[in-house]
Chain A
Amino acid sequence: MEETGKDPKLNRREFLAKGLRVSALVGIGGLAVLTVKKSLAGETVWQLDPSKCIQCGRCATNCVLAHSAVRCTHVYAMCGYCDLCGGYFKPGTKTLNTAAENQLCPTNAIKRKFVEDPFFQYSIDEPLCIGCGKCVKGCGAFGNGSLQLQVRHSICVHCNQCSIARSCPADAFSRVPAGKPYLLKQITLENPK
């Protein structure tokens, strides 16, 4: 202290600063250690659980993107390939054809293709889909529930807090590891769960 020739008062301040600096470093380090134990090397992404989803339609409107990152996915293994498809036709449709007034989808995003009598294949035109879930509701009420909503990670901007998750009434959104980013229901004859 004497060699520096400084005011002793100043040295006390320096000593305090040093002490606080070391304790801050220890504090930050401690916090890091505590949280590192619960961290994972990869990223997480947002995904919705179709088994919780009630098709309220908020996915279409509450995404930060104008055209929501939630889209309908078709699990073909579960599909009954019905002629009268609850996901494709409005209830009470008389003639089962692709006329616009018969379709449940507001954006004509479901394509119906004849396979063999009496089976039809339904596919989603994803760029057209707005994720409103109308077809999902129809399919779940009448059919096997092969149409399911999922967050498309090629479109999702990966917000830290998903704004759809915040407004989801069924608490269906969660963070999932990026290595396993989809939560589709896969109920088939081989996997009857």
Chain B
Amino acid sequence: MRQEIRICGFGGQGVITASVILGKAAAVYDNLIACQSQSYGPEARGGAARAEVIIDDKPIGCPGVHVADILIAMSIEAFTRYGRDVKPDGTIIIDPDLVVIPDLPERAYPIPATRIAENLGNTVVANIVMLGAVTAITGVVSEEAIHASTIKSVPARFKELNERALAAGIAAGHELKGLGRG
């Protein structure tokens, strides 16, 4: 079941945090094997950020993602760079307000995570909205696991905001999935 997930965007969007929460959901709460790694430019905020998570039910050897099963792109640059490195039957999830390009593939799921987060009161939780969406669309981890992992990973005073972001992301994901988009 090896699933290779690449989350990318720019520094400050919480791309790496999202990957850690996803990996933790799998490895600690879903009892799967997970391996998370990241790379980012020296200028962390605003520079390109990329994180990778591999989830499997067997021990993970090679920790690198080559052609992803799931791509989450939160910037044009990220999509242009990694949009093609997705398996033919893989899943692409983008933030349509940030990845504004004419030739977006038909199968891409548009999740306006930043706009949803803004409506919840703080764009900082856009990454958590995305995590909710990826869980609903792909089922790569369970909703219980992503919830437990998110709560464990965020400061207590932001618990409620993050829970709402996750729920909104899950709802947005289910809605698109229900429409048969993808």
Partners in one complex: no
